[in-house]
Every structure is written in C-alpha cells, then in structure tokens.
Chain A
C-alpha cells in the first residue's frame, strides 16, 4: 500500500500534448485529417489545433453517440477523422457506434480515448476508464493501442492515420517518463523488449511500463533477471513474444491500468492457456470501483507500482500465490 521509491528524477510527460502536436503535424501534411470532439477541445488538448485549423475541428457538443457516428460519416466522405473524447465516455457511451459504424462498417476512424485508466483520480469511477481495454478488445477487427510515453504516442498517431481502417488509441494523461528509445519499432503485433531476462517476464502497457522498468531494476538488484515487454498493441498481441516468454522464462506477470476482466492480462492468459500454459499473475483493478483518491494514490492502492510488480514477479518465480 505504501508508495514506492521510484526513479522519478527525470522529466515526465502528459502524452495528450504529444498527441495533439503530432496530429497538427499530420494535418499540415494531409488535408484529409480532421479532429472531431464532444466539447472536449480543452481536455483533448486541441485548442492549438483549432486555432491553426478552425474548419477542421468538428465539435458535435456533448453527444458521444453522434460523435462516433459523425466520425464514421466523415470517413465515408473521404476524410480521416480523429475522434477525441475522454476515454470513459467514448468507449462506454458510444460502444455500439464503435462496433457497428466503425469496426463492422470498416471505416477509417481513429478513436482517441483521452485521460484513460484512473487519470481523473478523485473524480471517481464514473470518470475512470478501466473497462475500455476489455470493451474495445471484444470488438472484431479493432486494433487496441496503448502507448507508454511520448514517442509511442506520436508513433501511434501516425500508424493509425495510415491504417486504412479504424483503431482505438488510449492516450495517457497521467504523467509518465519517456520509456522508448529512438529506433524502437512500432508495428502492429510487435512488442518492444525493454529488458532481457530468463527468470520471469513482465508484460506492461501504457502508464505501467515505466513502473515495470523500475520493478525490473529492483529485481535485478536481487539477482532476478526479468524480461520486460512493452506490449503497446493489446490487439493484435505479439503472440510470438508471449509464447517465447512462456517457454523461455519462469512465468509471466502482466500489468495494466485497467480492469483484469478482459484486457492485456486476459488476452495473454487466453493465449498461453491454449498454447503454452505457464505460471501467471495478472495485475490491474480486480472487480471493484476505485475509492476516492488521486490517480497516483489509486495506482499505489491497487499495487500498480514497482513494489507490487516486483512482488508479483517473485510470486511467479517462487510458486507462491499465482
């Protein structure tokens, strides 16, 4: 429950800034790029975009079903809409539009869930988006992308713009350090291995990646080598990397700022259970609504920090509760 000392000396970033900056760059290069929002110009960090491209910022007001439907229509017209809203409302209120109008209709709409996970902290579970990974993963043919920092956020924006069909991007608001290096690959279905190791594998996404790095460092100091995978694509998963981890290391710990009922951990468990069973721990929020607290407090409350991740790794290796 206690907060853990982490290497937070370096700078941290609100990835919405990188998202908006990269989107503006893309818009300068491609006239088809438009942003669509639900009164969320500020919370999606689109104020500068609106100033530069006033005609290409569509605001449908507080109306998420209309937001996604209009986005699908704009794609029908030949534009490339980036549909931006707070993740809980985008993925919760407009789930059926995402399913029918975007995914099933195969429309190139980039769904941008802002401030996901428990980023809204004290605003409470109505404003938390911990279900989005489960809901979006359940929609056929919809890639689910969870950038871990500024570089992956920018890569995700570019990747989604050229995909030719819809996708869901989960844009972090909770400040994170840069975890990527220049030259890191960003490909659908391909994880980035951030640490080598054989004793255990940690698979992390989004805001949890930097914490997993700290956990791996903690474990290394204890003589445990942890392989660390940044699985930015929850869908499609890097199946080869997961199966290799299940084969070559002592087990897998997954960690996500999301419910454990259907996101990253569930995806990996489903894969290894069918193809290469191994010991696992799935870290996330387990079947409950968060109490009141800041985002940082709540992450610690649920053990989503370096200590919690390192402990889960030791459990897997030691055959403890797992």
Chain B
C-alpha cells in the first residue's frame, strides 16, 4: 500500500527559524538584566506556552508522554531561556553549551522548548511522530538541530553528557553541560557509573538534574525500587547536591548556577508529574495516556494564564 504524506514532511532534516531565533537571543539577553520578579514572570510565560504546545502536539500525534513532559517543562524552559549559552543559528558551534535530555521519551517537551527558541519552526510540531517526520517519538540529533545525542533507552544521556563535560576540560573550553534525567531512570546502573566518572575527573562544568516526579511508568518510584535518600546518594558519590522545587523558576535558575566546591553539581528537582493540568497531576495513568479532545480543551483552559 502506498501512502501519500504531507509535503511538510518531505524535509527529513529541520533547519533554524531565523526570526524566532533572533527574538529568542534578544529575549534571553534581556532576561539576564531583569529583576527576580521580572525574570520569573518571563519564564512563567514561556513555560505556559511550551505546556500548551506539548498538549496540542500530543493531541496531533495521539501519542507521547504527557506526564513527564509537564514535570520537566520548567527545568527545560529555565535551562534554555536563562542558563544556557546557545545560538539556534549555530547549533553545531563547538563552544555552545550542551543540553542533554536523557529522559528521551519526553521528546514532545524538548521539541516544544527547542521550537520556542527557534531551533526549528514551531509549525513543525504538528508533524510530531507522523510518518517520516524528523520529530521522532524519541529525539534524533541528526534530524533535529539542538539535540546533542539520541536518547530514548534510559541511562544513556548522563554518560554522554559526562563525555561532553570531560571534553571541555581536555580542550580547555569553558562551555557547560546540563543533563536531565527522570527519577525512575536513576535505577539504571550506567548513571552511577557516570556519576563516579564525573566526580573522579572533578567536572565542575556539568550539572545533572533529576526530575523527581516520584512516578515511573507503572507505579511510584518508591514502590518500585526505592530511590531515597537521593540527595545523600549524590553527595556520597562526590557531587555538590541541591534539592529544590522543580517548578520554581527562580529556584531552578539559582540551582543551575556554578559549582561552589569544584565538584560536579547535582540538582534533585522535586516536581509533579502532569504539572499544570489539574486532572493529570500526580496520576500514574498520565505517564503516556493521550488526552481526549475535551480533555485537551480543559487543559488549554487551565493553561491560558
């Protein structure tokens, strides 16, 4: 059977949206001059837009991981709209800051954030997970500018990010690396291998963030395989550890600040799965449930602020 696909999907590699990228770069420069209240208000505004895009993107594809997308949104937005030095017009610049979303199943959140920065046109979100779309269900760096490594299987992003940070040290570059993992993902042993490597090499230029929404695919993390005391685990592995409210943009921004000890920095960000949509919040079934059209309208109504 042959199928015709929309011509918008004929392009297999996405390219920068120049006007959006320019607006993003100006806005980020301005954000750095704002008062705390001003910055918070800007980040809240962007995050609301990204959450709306996540909901409509998943509505369009009829698949995705909405719960984790919404728990990690404020971390993504604060990273891209405040902490990171990236230029969407030069996504391969060797001096760019690196951001790795190790919980690659939250691709819709990453794509919505990258589109907000102009890495590619926001309209492309409508192709998410459609046949031949560059926006695969898990991110592909070859096709999506801004993606650093292809994640999806858990426990991969952190070792790669550790290599990015170690590379900066070996090359004498001053870029930073931020990696975000799911909390359930911390059950993967490869992450603890990387935690030891980064501490051993004194990589003060890496920040590892755990999106601590306390739910994994089928149940609560603590009912599946206990993660706590997570703060102590990181500390004992040689990391400068910060525990914050992962939906408080100013707390995230501050925690993303530099290491004060020369050690790598871990952030345990307490979050709520499904954050921002009341009927999705902290409910295990919204790991990858797809909202009905009525639920989409209700969600967008809640996200209209």
* Residues in chain A within 8 A of chain B (CB atoms): 34, 55-56, 58, 60-61, 63, 65-66, 68-79, 81, 96-97, 100-101, 104-107
Name the residue among A56, A65, A107 with the largest chain B CB count within 10 angstroms.
A65
Given A69-B194, A70-B162, A70-B163, check contact A96 B153 (CB 8 Å). yes
If the complex has contacts A76-B167, A77-B164, A79-B167, are A66 and B197 also in contact, measured as CB distance less than 8 A?
Answer: yes
CB distance from A108 to the nearest CB of B (A): 12
B156 CB within 8 Å of chain A:
yes
B58 on the A face (CB < 8 A): no
Task: Verify B159–A69 contact, CB threshold 8 A.
Answer: yes
Chain A to chain B contacts (Cβ below 8 Å), 10 pairs: A58-B170, A61-B193, A63-B193, A66-B193, A69-B194, A72-B159, A77-B168, A79-B171, A96-B153, A100-B152
User: Could you tell me if B156 and A69 are in contact, using CB atoms closer than 8 angstroms?
Assistant: yes
The SS class assigned to the A binding surface is helix
Query: Which residue from B94, B156, B197 sits with its C-beta under 8 Å from A78?
Result: B94
Within 8 A of A (CB), among B224-248: none
Q: What is the count of residue pairs linking A and B with beta-carbon distances less than 8 angstroms?
A: 112
Given A76-B163, A76-B167, 18 extra CB contacts under 8 A: A34-B170, A60-B197, A61-B200, A63-B190, A63-B196, A66-B159, A66-B190, A66-B197, A68-B159, A70-B160, A73-B161, A73-B163, A73-B165, A77-B173, A96-B156, A97-B190, A100-B152, A105-B141
Cβ contact within 8 Å between A65 and B197: no
Once the chains bind, are A69 and B167 in contact (CB under 8 Å)?
no
Chain B neighbourhood of A60, CB < 8 A: 193, 197
- CA separation between A81 and B201, bound complex, in Å? 17
- Chain B, residues 192-206, CB within 8 Å of chain A (1/0): the string is 011011001100000
Interface status of B148 (Cβ within 8 A of chain A): yes
Q: Mark B175-218, 1 if CB is under 8 A from A, else 0.
A: 00000000000000110011011001100000000000000000
In the assembled complex, the Cα of A60 lies from the Cα of B141 at a distance in Å of 25
Kindly report which residue of chain A lies nearest to residue B98, judged by CB atoms: A76
Q: Is the CB of A76 within 8 A of B160?
A: yes
A74 lies within 8 A of B196 (CB): no
Asked whether B156 lies within 8 Å of A97 as measured between CB atoms, the reply is yes
A42 to B49, CA, bound (A): 54
Contact A76 B149 (CB under 8 A): yes
Chain A residue at minimum C-beta to C-beta distance from B201 = A58
A61 and B190 CA atoms in complex are apart in Å by 12
Rounded to whole angstroms, the CA-CA distance of A34 and B189 in the bound complex is 25
**Given contacts A63-B197, A66-B197, A105-B150, A77 and B189 within 8 Å (CB-CB):** no
Instruction: Select from chain A the residue with minimum beta-carbon distance to B151.
Output: A100
B158 at the interface (CB under 8 A from A): yes
* Contact in complex: A55, B159 (CB < 8 Å): no
B142 touches A101 (CB 8 A): no
Q: Is the CB of B190 within 8 A of A69?
A: yes
A70-B171 in contact (CB<8A) = no
B123-161 vs A, Cβ < 8 Å mask (1 yes, 0 no): 000000000000000001110000011111101101111
Residues of B within 8 A of A72 (CB): 149, 159-160, 163
Q: Which B residues touch A106, using CB under 8 A?
A: 141-142
Minimal beta-carbon separation of B14 from chain A (angstroms): 16
Q: Which residues of B contact A107 (CB under 8 A)?
A: 149
* B255 CB-CB contact with A under 8 Å: no
Q: Is the CB of A73 within 8 A of B159?
A: yes
| Contacting pair B171 A78 (CB below 8 A) | yes
Q: Does B166 contact A (CB under 8 A)?
A: yes
Closest to A70 in B: B163
CB distance from B195 to the nearest CB of A (A): 9
Across-interface contacts of B189 in A (CB, < 8 A): 65
Find chain A residues with CB under 8 A from B173 CB. Answer: 77
The residue on B at minimum CB distance from A38 is B193
On whether the beta carbons of A100 and B150 are closer than 8 Å, the reply is yes
A74–B149 touching, CB < 8 Å: no
Q: A142 to nearest B CB, angstroms?
A: 14
Q: Residues of B contacting A58 with CB < 8 Å? A: 166, 170, 201
Chain A, residue nearest B196 (CB): A61
Q: Chain A CB within 10 Å — which of B160, B165, B166, B201 has the most?
A: B160
- C-alpha spacing A100/B152, complex, angstroms: 9
With A and B bound together, what is the CA distance between A58 and B171 in angstroms? Answer: 13
Rounded to whole angstroms, the CA-CA distance of A134 and B168 in the bound complex is: 35
Closest chain A CB from B189 CB (angstroms): 7
Q: Is there an interface contact between B153 and A100, defined as CB atoms closer than 8 Å? A: yes
Interface contact B153-A70, CB-CB below 8 Å: no
How far, in angstroms, from A74 to B177 measured CA to CA in the complex? Answer: 12
Q: B171 — nearest CB in chain A belongs to which residue? A: A77
Inter-chain CA distance A55–B151, complex, in Å, is: 29
> Contacts of A70 on B, CB cut-off 8 Å?
159-160, 162-163, 166, 194, 197
A130 to chain B, nearest CB (A): 25
CB-nearest residue of chain B relative to A99? B153
- Complexed CA–CA distance, A58 and B200 (Å): 11
B150 engages A77 (CB within 8 Å): no
Please name all residues of chain B whose beta carbon is closer than 8 Å to the beta carbon of A34 when the two chains form the complex: 170
